[in-house]
């Protein structure tokens, strides 16, 4: 089934023949996601272990007090010390409006019975529409520059501990959905020999509907 051309995150002219995916990049092959909510030691151990050469910060707020070592200036400095490129990509960050809408309908309620069961799904659907409208993989965009650049492996970063609680996982899925021959791996401390598995946030953020744009499937039976 051919995808509606208006739904692609790039323009019709950039399509490869009749396919709704971009051709394989010349160099770029691995998209990773990592939380900057872990220690700097573990974060850069993961970056080094997986030969990441470019860290893309996808957070809306990068200088809040709780960021500790990962406030923007410190983060950039540490990346330089590890000979890793650090960049901020606001094109792929969710808007404050999207985030605040989610917070009001899910996080800021007084009891579970008042919590919208599809708030997380609406959040990701809104994020999908945002990336679609921005054509984030269009020729000349910051994200497309990553695909067409010289980095073999790039890591997309946000602060959420578990990838399934974070927009960064959906962003990573965008690559495997629309760019051929790109592998996605959500890196966590499990990928270090001594690292514990991150926990999902409580209350759980459950995807109750498929989001085809990202290739995400609902977590059925887990409400």
At 164-182, the pLDDT tens digits run 999 999 999 998 999 999 9
Domain ranges of the chain: 22-191
pTM over 0.85: yes
Spatial neighbors of 144 by CB under 8 A, at least 6 apart, are 10, 136, 137, 138
Tell me the per-residue pLDDT of 119-139, one tens digit each, with 9 for 90 and over. Answer: 999 999 999 999 999 999 999
Residue 151: partners with Cβ closer than 8 Å, 6 or more residues away: 27, 28, 53, 54, 85
CA distance 78 to 177: 32
Q: Name the residue with higher pLDDT: 65 or 158.
A: 158
């Amino acid at each position: 089934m051919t995808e509606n051309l208006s739904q692609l995150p790039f323009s019709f002219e950039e399509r490869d023949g009749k396919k709704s995916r971009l051709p394989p990049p010349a160099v770029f092959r691995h998209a990773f996601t990592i939380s900057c909510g872990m220690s700097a030691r573990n974060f850069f151990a993961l970056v080094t272990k997986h030969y990441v050469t470019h860290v893309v910060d996808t957070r809306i707020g990068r200088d809040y007090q709780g960021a500790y070592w990962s406030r923007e200036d410190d983060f950039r400095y540490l990346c330089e010390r590890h000979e890793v490129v650090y960049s901020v990509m606001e094109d792929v960050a969710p808007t404050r409006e999207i985030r605040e809408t989610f917070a009001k309908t899910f996080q800021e309620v007084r009891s579970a019975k008042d919590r919208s069961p599809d708030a997380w799904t609406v959040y990701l659907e809104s994020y999908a529409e945002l990336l679609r409208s921005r054509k984030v993989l269009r020729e000349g965009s910051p994200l497309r520059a990553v695909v067409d650049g010289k980095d073999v492996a790039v890591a997309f970063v946000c602060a959420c501990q578990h990838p399934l609680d974070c927009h960064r996982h959906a962003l990573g899925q965008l690559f495997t959905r629309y760019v051929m021959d790109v592998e996605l791996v959500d890196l966590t401390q499990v990928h270090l020999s001594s690292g514990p598995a991150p926990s999902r946030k409580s209350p759980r953020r459950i995807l109750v509907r498929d989001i085809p744009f990202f290739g995400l499937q609902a977590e059925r039976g887990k409400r």
